[in-house]
Amino acid sequence: MKYFLIGPYPPILGGVSVFNYRYTKVLKQRGYDIENIDLYRKTKLKRYLCYLKLFVWPRKSVYHLDKFIPPIAVILLLRPFRSSIILHHHSCRYFETLGGIERTIFRCFLRKVDECIFISEQLKAYYSQNGFALPTKLTIQSPFLPPPLEEEDNIWNTYDSKTLCFVNSHKPLLIANAFQIVFYQGVDLYGLDLCVDLVSELKKIYPQIGLLFALAEIGETTYFEETIHRIRKKTIADNFFFMTGQKELWPLFKKCDLMVRPTYSDGYGISIAEALYFHCPAVASDVGGRPEGTILFRNRDFDDFLCKVKNILVNPKKSPYNFARQ
């Protein structure tokens, strides 16, 4: 059966694109004929050709969407051939941008969805809070899939010498990440500002501390430059490192002592699950549906954030995952 997996796909790396990449491998092992459709990377013409293909594809197929996409929803509502539709929710933030007509289409579309997958109970609750009727078949399912370990050597080769030098010369080593610098409701979404303050405070206790902040794309360049200036002003330039570009992160969790994710809003945080998978503890804001074993702090509460991080660094054995290295 043809399986259309619709959503972001590498080389652009993010939580959803990484999930789609790994899930494609799983589906191929199950014998599906997979076609990945990343609309964000297509020109307008190719996008319309893709819409046409989805509409006229004659065989019964599976259409797996990473979120509600109005044009795709209309196509599947009008499609004259049988199809199975899976709606996989990774975040609720996009609901806030839907207009009145789009919400009407969404309600109609939900009646045709065969299965709805939520990454957390909180996301499921968002439906009821916004007056959307839940489909009959729904599943709460972690978006984490174990990384393909056979790719580790190739990923290490993508790290430049400055990155490797920073990783090997700082202790304790912390890691944070973001797809790009962006603001949500006027707040630094990924908590880069909190990470800077965290390193500034921890350096008083751990002079050799390092925080590697993986940033796939810069995003808000002005804010990024302001942050660089702030880092220098706090005299932590030698302790704070930006690894930029489209790079997988998970091999570094084998080397680091703690992963932090101080996001203001979040769906799940696959990078947290990756860290825990490699027995690296993780401290994250209490938003979204965090993986079991995550140490939570009150959202945007720096004192609580600092306290939780200090507790782990001082008492690693009390963490759900002991990160002491041989």
Segment 217-256, tens digit of pLDDT: 999 999 999 999 999 999 999 999 999 999 999 999 999 9
Strand, helix or coil for residue 235 = coil
Predicted local confidence at residue 59, as pLDDT: 87
Checking if the pLDDT of 324 tops 50, the result is no
Predicted local confidence at residue 95, as pLDDT: 73
- 78 contacts 108 by C-beta, under 8 angstroms: no
Quick one: average pLDDT of 282-288? 94
Token pair 């995550």: residue = 294
Predicted local confidence at residue 320, as pLDDT: 54
Predicted local confidence at residue 131, as pLDDT: 78
More confident site: 318 or 28: 28
Checking if the pLDDT of 116 tops 90, the result is yes
Note the pLDDT tens digit of each residue in 255-282: 999 999 999 998 888 999 999 999 999 9
Strand, helix or coil for residue 118 = strand
If you average pLDDT over every residue of the chain, what do you get? 92
Residue 60 to residue 33: CA distance in whole angstroms: 12
Domains delineated in the chain = 2-140 (3.40.50.2000), 152-318 (3.40.50.2000)
Please compute, for residue 81, the number of CA atoms within 13 A of its CA located in the half-sphere on the CB side: 11
- Whether this prediction's pTM lies above 0.95 is answered by no
pLDDT band per the 50, 70, 90 thresholds, residue 323: very low
Q: How many CB atoms lie within 10 A of CB 37?
A: 21
* Long-range Cβ pairs for the range 41-46 (8 Å, 24+): 41/9, 41/12
Predicted local confidence at residue 319, as pLDDT: 54
Predicted local confidence at residue 126, as pLDDT: 79
Checking if the pLDDT of 29 tops 90, the result is yes
Overall size of the chain counted in residues: 326
Predicted local confidence at residue 322, as pLDDT: 43
Predicted local confidence at residue 318, as pLDDT: 54
Checking if the pLDDT of 326 tops 60, the result is no
More confident site: 191 or 288: 191
